[in-house]
Chains A and B, each alone.
Chain A
Amino acid sequence: MNNKEKYKGIFIKSLSIDEKKFSENLKYNEIAEWDSIGHMTLMSGLEEGFSISMETDDIVDFSSYKKGIDILKKYKVF
């Protein structure tokens, strides 16, 4: 499994969403599952999954699936 697939898998698992509901256009607060608690669960899932520790500014900026890819480049995930 490459990191893109792993990234998608962490999204689905952390937000407890059906694979059918997943889209690369997902944005924070646009689905019920990605609310405040869902966001922190997602961030922790990414930290555990990729063995990284994200800065607060990056957690705050992490507003969409696509934006997340840009942010994770900083941590050499992509």
Chain B
Amino acid sequence: MPIASSLLNKPKLVNKLRKFYDYVQKNDGKVGTKTRGIDLNFNNACNLRCKYCFTNSPKGDHVKEYLDLGAIKKLADEADELGYFEFDLQGGELLLQPDKLFSVLEAIKPERFYLYLTTNGFYLDEKMAKKLAEYKVSRVSVSIDSMDEKIHDEIRGRKESWRRAIEGLKHVKNAGMDPYLNITVGHYNANTEHFKQLLDYSKNENYKTLLNVAVPSGMWQKMTDIICDDKDREYLRKIRKEYKNLVRNIWNPFDRNHEKILGCTTVNRLYVTPIGDVLVCPYVHIKIGNIFESSLKEIVDYGFSIKYFRNHSDLCLAGEDKEFIKNFMTKSGQTIFKPALAKDIFSKEDFVK
């Protein structure tokens, strides 16, 4: 201490976070139309072949395209102006091309954001973790599928994946960044001993656990049996209070009683692809603009003119709202690179006047 990546070294971030907090408090604990984060996939290449990848990276989809640095810089400047306080870099696998990653970090200027990486951890050694902290990365999220090494490696399609990911999280913690263990939870694993082992490990290591509900998109499109049901949701509510280190984007992070729902954050958290398309979230492959054609503000305003994204939803639209999934996420071939267009998929009545 003090660590460059710490919130306490980012006064501009503190200001934005505070404004977000004030907005949410005045809005009955709900996210409303407040800008929150940018999820950026600037390149889709990956070293692993995960069975449930939502970007179709294992199929080699658009892995040679890169979002250019000028566009990233402009995006970050506009996001900062609009009050976005989180910047989540994801892929593909970011640590596969560290030079490119560090150039992107310089373009974004992490000192103004709660900037974090989502990685499979394969290349996350001690040296890398220290360098990320020096570059003011606040948090690193590493996805773990099982505490059984064999199961994790089989899902990820490569041996050593589990061991290196687990080691990687330790390096994150030692480097002074926030370590997050990401778990995907669906009907197939909620309330199982297998899932509990992951929760317990994360808690015992003093990590935060980010729960992503399984979403029928990407390589899992049309696999509706993975969707959490009411019983699974009840279980998630129970463990939220029990563990206290659990995070879901849909939950209100400021609620000291671990009960309140912030709401689905489509458009509040935008997803930007390597070709500059802007989707309403990483998992809902519906395009609302392109950063080479419109300003971020125009894209956000357009996104919030669609009632599904403007109105509060207690459910994650992509992973829990079966009606939304059936109507808007099952178009054949719908991917992050071939998203449905909002203007085509929604009717006149779906837009707010």
Contact = CB atoms under 8 A, between A and B. Distances in A.
A29 B247 CA distance: 17
Contacts of B114: 36
Contact of B254 (A13, A29, A31, A40): A40
Contacts of B25: 44
A73 B261 CA distance: 34
Contacts of B253: 37, 41
B189 to A, nearest CB: 24
Interface size class of B (residues with CB under 8 A): 20 to 34
Nearest to A37: B253
Interface in A45-75: 45, 56-57, 59-63
Given A27-B1, A33-B245, A44-B21, A14 B7 contact: no
Given A29-B176, A32-B206, A36-B178, A56 B14 contact: yes
Nearest to A45: B256
Interface string B176-198: 10110000000000000000000
B207 interface: yes
Contacts of A39: 7-8
Given A16-B256, A44-B21, A36 B7 contact: yes
Contact of B15 (A14, A29, A56): A56
A28 B8 contact: yes
B147 interface: no
A60 B17 CA distance: 12
B15 to A, nearest CB: 5
A66 to B, nearest CB: 14
Interface in B108-163: 114, 138-139
Interface residues of A, number: 26
Given A56-B18, A60-B8, A41 B256 contact: yes
Interface string B13-43: 0110110010001000000000000000000
A56 B14 CA distance: 7
Contact of A29 (B3, B11, B17, B207): B3
Contacts of B18: 40, 43, 56, 59
Contacts of B139: 35-36
B208 interface: yes
Nearest to A28: B8
B258 interface: yes
Contacts of A60: 8-9, 11, 14
B248 to A, nearest CB: 12
B1 A59 contact: no
Contacts of B207: 32
B258 A16 contact: yes
A60 B9 CA distance: 7
Contact of B245 (A32, A45, A61): A32
B334 interface: no
Given A33-B245, A36-B178, A60-B11, 10 more contacts: A14-B256, A28-B8, A29-B176, A32-B245, A39-B7, A40-B254, A56-B14, A57-B11, A60-B8, A61-B8
- 10 residue pairs, one from A and one from B, having the closest CB atoms: A32-B206, A36-B7, A16-B244, A37-B253, A35-B178, A41-B254, A60-B11, A60-B8, A59-B14, A40-B17
Interface of A: 13-14, 16, 27-33, 35-37, 39-41, 43-45, 56-57, 59-63
17 contacts: A14-B256, A16-B244, A28-B7, A30-B1, A32-B206, A33-B245, A36-B7, A36-B114, A36-B178, A37-B247, A40-B14, A40-B17, A41-B253, A41-B256, A43-B18, A60-B11, A63-B2
Interface of B: 1-3, 6-9, 11, 14-15, 17-18, 21, 25, 114, 138-139, 176, 178-179, 206-208, 244-245, 247, 253-254, 256, 258
